[in-house]
Amino acid sequence: MDVRIYYEDTDAGGVVYHANYIKYLERARTEYFRQHGFFVAELAEAGFVFPVVRLEINFKAPAIHDDLLSVSTRPIRVGGSSVTLDQKITRQHDNKLLIEGIVTLACINPAFKAQRIPLDIRQMLETELVKEI
C-alpha cells in the first residue's frame, strides 16, 4: 500500500509524527485483507473482530513532507485465535527502511471473547505464510 506524506502528517520538526505510523500500519492491514477478499466491516457484521493485542515498532528513520511510502504486510505466525503480522514502511525513492512493526491481532466475538479465526481466513494466511518461506 502506498502512503503520501502531507503537511498534516508532520510535527513541528517537519517529520512524520510517530503516532501517524500506527495509522499507516492499520490502513495497510485493512488493505491486505481487502486484497485477499476479506472486508473488515463484513467480518464485524458476521461476528469476527480483529483488535490489535500487541504492537511493537522499531523506528529506523524519519519520513518527511511529500515522501511517498510503501507499507508491506505479511503473516509470520498464525495461531488458533490470533495472527502475527510483520509490517514494514519504506520510502519509495530510495527504498530506505523507516519502520519495522510486529502486530498481533486476536480474533474475538462481539462479547469480547476469543474465538477461532474463520477457516477461509486461516487458509489464506497460512498460504501467504508458506509463500514467504
Catalytic residue list:
11
Q: Grid coordinates representing 131?
A: 509463500
- List beta partners, residue 55: 103
Name the residue among 33, 116, 8, 132 with its Cα closest to residue 76. 132
Name the residue among 2, 14, 28 with its Cα closest to residue 91. 2
